[in-house]
Homo-oligomer: A and B are copies of this chain.
Amino acid sequence: MAKTSQAAGLHRASLDKLHDLDAALELMYYGWRGMTLEADAYLAKQGLSRPHHRILYVVARRPDIAIGSLLEVLGISKQALNRPLNLLLERKFVTSRRSPEQHRSKLLRLTAAGQRIEQRASDHERNVMRQAFDRAGASSAAAWMAVMEAIADHN
């Protein structure tokens, strides 16, 4: 293994399993990584990262969302939103305008360029999912969704 990077690329390690469900924990970890890897690489090429993508993703699916609602959906503080959102506004991936009736809030929308970035980044993730679903079959895909829903809605 030549002289690549000090931080090696993290290829699924084979660890002893102490418990029945250890394999499931590890699959969740490496699955998350596997789904986001290419999208993150694409975003990095654009000078963006995952927080930017999350903003683009949500605004794409909720045009005219107000900043306050966006904060709620993302689950972060407005100070944390500030930097990435301003970058997206500066680079004209997102526009903001005041609401006609509710002049207090600002409504966010993607520009055409913003839509393109969002689509390409999400496409990387969707392609990973599509290939995995294709390999495992449609009924497995449905089962995967059911299990993930149970995990997401835990408690």
Cα A143 to Cα B140 with chains together (Å): 5
Q: Are B147 and A141 in contact (CB under 8 A)?
A: yes
Q: Are B139 and A8 in contact (CB under 8 A)?
A: no
Name the interface residues of A93-135: CB closer than 8 Å to any CB of B: 122, 125-126, 128-133, 135
Taking a contact as CB atoms closer than 8 A, the residue among B13, B23, B73 that contacts A145 in the complex is B23
Contact with B along A74-103 (1 / 0, CB 8 A): 111111100000000000000000000000
Most buried by B among A12, A60, A78, A136: A136
Q: Is A25 an interface residue (CB 8 A)?
A: yes
Q: Is A2 an interface residue (CB 8 A)?
A: no
Q: Are B16 and A62 in contact (CB under 8 A)?
A: yes
A81 to chain B, nearest CB (A): 10
Closest to A30 in B: B152
Q: Which residues of B contact A149 (CB under 8 A)?
A: 27
Cα A143 to Cα B145 with chains together (Å): 10
Q: Which residues of B contact A140 (CB under 8 A)?
A: 143-144, 146-147
Cα A31 to Cα B136 with chains together (Å): 19
Q: Are A18 and B139 in contact (CB under 8 A)?
A: no
Closest to A10 in B: B75
